[in-house]
Structure 1
Amino acid sequence: MLDYAALAVVSAVVSEGSFEGAARLMGLTPSAVSQRVRSYEERLGSLLIIRGSPCRPTDLGRSLCAHVDRVRLLEADIPHLSEEAGGERAYPVSLKIAVNADSLATWFPDAMASFIKQSGIFLELYAEDESHTVEHVRSGAVMAAITADAEPVTGSKIVRLGHLQYIACASPGFVKQFFANGFTPHSFQTAPCICFDKKDGLQSRWLQATQGVSVPKQVHYVPSTQGFLDFILAGLGWGLQPLSLARDYLKQGLLLPLGSDHFMDVDLYWVCPRLKNKLMEDLTRHLMQYCAATTNLVDKK
């Protein structure tokens, strides 16, 4: 049988990244936290935490922490089960969600604001490329994700939210320098490109669809949505930006669309556990309603 008191300590160490942080969170001494973790590891005959800066879970530790997260989520549906005398939950409900950086920089904060105020939950967000957020769900690192990957995930359901519209763009000076002879496959092969990171395949997919070529070797990797936009505005490369972020710069003439077929839609999905849980069901319903009504950010086709 699982020792949930011990698992709460393990979960705190993983969440805080250190024994000291877990001690502050739980009102214990670091030595008491270390002793409880070590004692439980000895009982299980397996390591749960890889000590370091930060501390990281082993595969077993990650699975057990994911289990604890689900148990706490289910407990939130049972009145007073996890409440203290003062009427507050012994453990605040914290949802670990993987979110693509562009959603995090555009529609997601506004979508979550009212729900957080009503429910009192806390978020632990993991920023990732939209095609890879779901990997955090598969690994057990998070409970839910905003993703562009519609592949099934064991134990989870997938709900389509809509799509995020992107536009291929660059600064006027950059267009004049690299596209003076038109938006041709050759010009795109010689013009520097900007990608979020080496897992970002958005620019490559757009080039393949519109030009039949791949991303050139001259690539700047900028793992920040705002930094990505700033690099384009500075004339250091071209790239695809969420239309909601680029719109004002396009109106001012500070950015120009590349060619006639410059839009690209990326479908977004909500992946969450198949739990009979009111909080998760309410959040799923809230996100679907928000996205259906917010046509300037995530559009329903």
Structure 2
Amino acid sequence: MMSDLPLDQVKTLLAVVDEQSFDAAAAVLHVTPSAVSQRVKALEQRTGRVLLLRTKPIQLTSSGQVLVRFARSLAQLEQDALSGLGLGSSGPRTLSIAVNADSLATWFLPALAGIPEDLGLCFDLQREDQDHTAALLREGLVMAAVTAAPQPVQGCTSRRLGRMRYRAMASPSFISRRLSSGPLPQVLPTAPVIMFDRKDDLQDRFLRGLTRRRAFTLVRHHIPASESFVDAVAAGLGWGMVPELQAAPRGDALVDLAPDRPLDVPLHWQQWKLDSPALAAVADAVTRGAKEALR
């Protein structure tokens, strides 16, 4: 039973996961690395389960995910209780949130800036593709996420934020050089394309809709930084799916290749089912920011 679990051991497991090493966890907890290792081992013996894989990076097993979710929930509730009793706390409250790169580069940070400073919140943001942020919730690595998944992860709530609109963009020089020799469905699959990373499928989705078949561009540049991605498109390195929010300030440096074919990605806010004022304040701020910026 959870009530039989030594809380110091559970919190130590959480520290190892967050700090990604036994030595770093020891420094945060003000104990020796040997003590950290002994606590984790004792917790594994008590539960009869392997809780984490001692790899780089450290990986949780399914049993470890359950305990990390418990530890993170416990830490948040403890902070909320101390605050509610007017007893202060041992330090600022940290909320771990997964968010996709394009939201992070456009509307998400201004939304967080609207949260009152007197709540004493620190944000631990983890950047991940919107199609994969829900997995971090499921694993207990974050407490909330901006995700493309509408179906709530077990133990979470979900609310719709809006749609982030993407457009197939290229520079005028790239269009003249690579896309002027024929109809767009014919020439675009052969032209160099900019991809965010190997999880990014927006360009392939656009091509499938444009050509009505599976089209795979051979020359694929991977640029895993949102602003640099748009810079690469504007510089003429290739074409790519650019968020409207980032395309507008570029003016004539970017040209919409298919104005009648935008690609919308619905975004949702998922968070753990915790009666936490801090988490509720973040959810409200994110919802307000999304309402102003997204479709």
Q: C-alpha distance in 2, partners of 1:290/1:231?
A: 28
Which residue pairs with 1:132 in the alignment?
A: 132
Runs of at least 5 residues in structure 2 that lack an aligned partner in the other structure: none
- Partners of 1:183 and 1:247 in 2: how far apart? 25
Following the alignment from structure 1 to structure 2, what is the Cα–Cα distance between the partners of residues 273 and 204? 33
Q: Matched residues in 2 for 1:225 and 1:82: separation?
A: 42
| 1:275 corresponding residue in structure 2 | 274
Partner of 2:249: 248
Aligned equivalent of 2:72: 69
The AA in structure 2 aligned to 1:68 is A
AA aligned to 1:94 is: T
User: TM-score, normalising length from structure 2?
Assistant: 0.89
Matched AA of 1:39: A
Alignment of 1:181-196 (within 5 A): 181-196=181-196
Q: Which runs of 5+ in 1 are unaligned?
A: none
**Alpha-carbon distance in 1 for matches of 2:190, 2:89:** 58
Task: Report the alpha carbon displacement of residue 170 of structure 1 after superposing the two structures with TM.
Answer: 0.8
Aligned residue for 1:265? 264
Partner of 2:46: 43
Q: Within 2, Cα distance between the matches of 1:88 and 1:76?
A: 8
TM-score, normalization: structure 1? Answer: 0.88
Residue 54 of structure 1, CA deviation: 3.5
1:55 positional shift = 3.0
Structure-2 separation of matches of 1:4 and 1:30: 18
Q: What whole-Å deviation, never above 9, does each CA across 1:259-284 have from its counterpart, x for those lacking one?
A: 33253322211011223332222222
1:9 maps to 12
Please tell me whether the aligned partners of residues 98 and 127 of structure 1 are also in contact (alpha carbons under 8 angstroms).
Answer: yes
Report what 2:202 is aligned to.
Answer: 202
For residue 162 of structure 2, what is the amino acid of its counterpart?
G
1:91 Cα shift?
A: 5.9
For 1:22 and 1:101, the matched residues in 2 are separated by 28
Q: Distance in 2 between matches of 1:274 and 1:121?
A: 19
Shift of 1:107: 0.9
| 1:1-150 pair list within 5 angstroms | 1-79=4-82, 88-90=88-90, 92-115=92-115, 117-150=117-150
Give CA deviations for 1:153-184 in whole Å, capped at 9, x if unaligned: 22222111112222211111110111113542
Letter aligned with residue 128 of structure 1 = E
Whole-Å separation in 1 of the counterparts to 2:91 and 2:57: 22
Give the 3 Å change call, closer, same or farther, for CA 262–136 of structure 1 in structure 2: same
C-alpha displacement at 1:21, in angstroms?
Answer: 0.7
- The reply on whether 1:298 has 2:294 as its aligned counterpart is yes
Letter of the 2:41 counterpart: R
The aligned residue for residue 221 of structure 1 is 222
Q: 1:210–1:261: 8 Å Cα contact kept in structure 2?
A: no
Counterpart secondary structure, 1:223: coil
Give the ranges of 4+ consecutive aligned residues of structure 1 lying more than 4 Å apart after TM superposition: 80-83
Distance verdict in 2 for CA 1:80–1:278, change over 3 Å: closer
Farther-moved stretch of structure 1 (211-220 vs 118-127): 211-220
Residue aligned with 2:74, SS: helix
CA distance in 2, matches of 1:229, 1:138: 31
Closer/same/farther in 2, CA of residues 116 and 240 from structure 1, 3 Å limit: farther
